[in-house]
Chains A and B, each alone.
Chain A
């Protein structure tokens, strides 16, 4: 519960996220996703105050017992608004910011900054000032900033809200790569499930502070509950549901448009 609040932001939430998973957390506005994701790096409860009951463990560290500064080494957080998380006058200085805070040596900082810029594909933006960049570029810088600290977990709070579809796709690609290549556990809060479904292997749906669904993407997207709560299920899944009702049975439940094409081809060829 936040200080001054009358209702709990989170109620009895229990979830387990395995290392290396790509988790998508979704749900209607106000369901508590934002609060939950801030629990992972300690902003809740340390920065916001309020009361946190229960335990949050990230890589064996209990969040309430460690300061945000320490948790920041393990959990990186990327926020919704690209502009308001970049403070330096040059991109590479921003990427170095976290490492500078940690007191890392200059040579090591230089190495990690170069590496982070390469991993996110923005080496050519190194000396630009954040304000000149597009929203998509800014978000990639934000990801690089977090990546430089080499966290085990990356949490992203609706990073594509302000981006156009191509920009959003690029961000998902980058995150997907980091998850695959570097094994970073990803927790992505998103409404645009159509685009995110391609990458995730675990979906959690929240509503009014509680976890309502938790499991494999196919199960969650296909469940009646998801539809009732008003989550924007991928169109591919919705189409399969609509066809099921009309008596057409598909082999598998698709979550991406490619899968849907594939599955439909089988059904249509069969007949």
Chain B
């Protein structure tokens, strides 16, 4: 669950939190593109480090580290996969010619696999910063103002609103059934799965009942009166947001330039 920790929002305010989600999302997309166009380790290390200031300014270090820890497992898998695959059929990797047997070739393969893993880490990093610094209601509002149909925005924020409620209810249902002798920790795999039926059914029935009550309440408050829904809040792009967008564009241009015109040395060559 630690990957999700990085995605959960905490009630803190920082300059990063106050940025318009649309600007932040643009920045994330730019990071995504840059991470994908480079196949070398060096630029990705730079990319990884570039985002750290955001994390510290926003004050979300702890959650961010937790999300990276969660991503670590997948990153290791990606590394291993690339290494093994690259070893068995290295065609197309610069600096390596089959079969892989010299030290420099091994190092090149190592670097390549690290790059792939780091790319994944960078992506997780930027998305996690985005979600850690954007409250769900800001996100919903951003969606709304980006002309996503209101039904979806509403479904999104309502779902987030009820997540803790459902979690509590699931716990209560488990308690209630345990109090009737249901043992969730015992038994072989099949038995354990079956033991979850007395938990799932009340949960689902309760969710359906809840939706009905919510629908009643929504109707009673004039849901669907007009397509032109107004809003109590509004997101306005301010200087900081435009600045972020501008900086992102600059970074993109710079990255593309480097990619096209500068050949990037491998890390080993660079260190020598």
Interface residues, chain A, CB within 8 Å of chain B? Answer: 38, 41, 43, 47, 68-70, 72-73, 76-77, 79, 81, 83-90, 92-93, 96-106, 109-110, 113, 129-131, 145-146, 149
Chain B 119-159: CB-based contact to A (< 8 A → 1; otherwise 0): 00000000000000001110000000000000000100110
How many positions in chain B have a CB within 8 Å of any CB in the partner chain? 32
Q: Which 9 A-B pairs have the closest CB atoms?
A: A98-B221, A85-B217, A84-B213, A96-B232, A72-B222, A77-B220, A69-B225, A101-B222, A103-B226
Asked if B36 lies at the interface with its beta carbon under 8 angstroms from chain A, I say no
Q: Is the CB of B229 within 8 A of A103?
A: yes
Q: Is the CB of A73 within 8 A of B222?
A: yes
Q: Which residues of the other chain, A, contact B229 by a CB distance below 8 angstroms?
A: 100-101, 103
Q: Is the CB of B218 within 8 A of A87?
A: yes
Interface residues, chain B, CB within 8 Å of chain A? Answer: 135-137, 154, 157-158, 160-161, 164-165, 210, 213-226, 228-234
**Bound-complex Cα distance A86 to B228 (A):** 22
**Bound-complex Cα distance A79 to B223 (A):** 16
Q: Is the CB of B157 within 8 A of A88?
A: yes
Nearest to B140 among chain A residues (CB) is A89
Q: Which residues of the other chain, A, contact B165 by a CB distance below 8 angstroms?
A: 83, 131
Q: Is the CB of A106 within 8 A of B232?
A: yes
**Bound-complex Cα distance A81 to B162 (A):** 14
Q: Which residues of the other chain, B, contact A131 by a CB distance below 8 angstroms?
A: 161, 164-165
Nearest to A76 among chain B residues (CB) is B220
Q: Is the CB of B137 within 8 A of A101?
A: no
**Bound-complex Cα distance A93 to B218 (A):** 14
A-B contact pairs, 23 of them (CB 8 A): A38-B216, A68-B219, A76-B220, A77-B220, A79-B213, A79-B216, A84-B213, A84-B214, A85-B213, A85-B214, A87-B157, A87-B158, A88-B137, A88-B161, A89-B157, A89-B160, A98-B222, A99-B230, A102-B222, A102-B226, A106-B231, A130-B161, A131-B165
Q: Is the CB of A69 within 8 A of B222?
A: yes
Q: Is the CB of A105 within 8 A of B225?
A: no
**Bound-complex Cα distance A160 to B254 (A):** 63
B202 vs chain A, min Cβ distance (A):
16
Q: Which residues of the other chain, A, contact B216 by a CB distance below 8 angstroms?
A: 38, 43, 47, 77, 79, 85
A152 vs chain B, min Cβ distance (A):
15
**Bound-complex Cα distance A73 to B215 (A):** 17
Q: Which residues of the other chain, A, contact B232 by a CB distance below 8 angstroms?
A: 92-93, 96, 99-100, 106, 109-110, 113
Q: Which residues of the other chain, A, contact B161 by a CB distance below 8 angstroms?
A: 86-89, 129-131
Q: Which residues of the other chain, B, contact A97 by a CB distance below 8 angstroms?
A: 221
Q: Is the CB of B231 within 8 A of A101?
A: no
A184 vs chain B, min Cβ distance (A):
15
B72 vs chain A, min Cβ distance (A):
31
Q: Which residues of the other chain, A, contact B222 by a CB distance below 8 angstroms?
A: 68-69, 72-73, 98, 101-102, 149
**Bound-complex Cα distance A130 to B161 (A):** 8
Q: A43-B219, A69-B223, A77-B220 are in contact. Are A100 and B158 (CB under 8 A)?
A: no
**Bound-complex Cα distance A85 to B158 (A):** 11
B27 vs chain A, min Cβ distance (A):
24
**Bound-complex Cα distance A129 to B230 (A):** 21
Q: Which residues of the other chain, B, contact A81 by a CB distance below 8 angstroms?
A: 213
**Bound-complex Cα distance A102 to B225 (A):** 6
Q: Is the CB of A103 within 8 A of B233?
A: no
With beta carbons under 8 angstroms apart, the residue of A84, A93, A103 that contacts B230 is: A103
Nearest to A46 among chain B residues (CB) is B219
B140 vs chain A, min Cβ distance (A):
8
With beta carbons under 8 angstroms apart, the residue of B136, B213, B214, B224 that contacts A101 is: B224
Q: Which residues of the other chain, B, contact A77 by a CB distance below 8 angstroms?
A: 216-217, 220
Nearest to A98 among chain B residues (CB) is B221
A41 vs chain B, min Cβ distance (A):
6
Q: Which residues of the other chain, A, contact B136 by a CB distance below 8 angstroms?
A: 89
Q: A93-B137, A103-B229, A129-B161 are in contact. Are A84 and B217 (CB under 8 A)?
A: yes
Q: A87-B161, A87-B214, A100-B229 are in contact. Are A106 and B234 (CB under 8 A)?
A: yes
Q: A69-B222, A149-B222 are in contact. Are A103 and B228 (CB under 8 A)?
A: yes
Q: Which residues of the other chain, A, contact B234 by a CB distance below 8 angstroms?
A: 106
Tell which of B160, B218, B234 has the most Cβ of chain A within 10 Å: B218
**Bound-complex Cα distance A145 to B223 (A):** 13
Q: Which residues of the other chain, B, contact A100 by a CB distance below 8 angstroms?
A: 229-232
Q: Is the CB of B137 within 8 A of A89?
A: yes
**Bound-complex Cα distance A83 to B154 (A):** 17
Q: A93-B233, A113-B232 are in contact. Are A103 and B158 (CB under 8 A)?
A: no
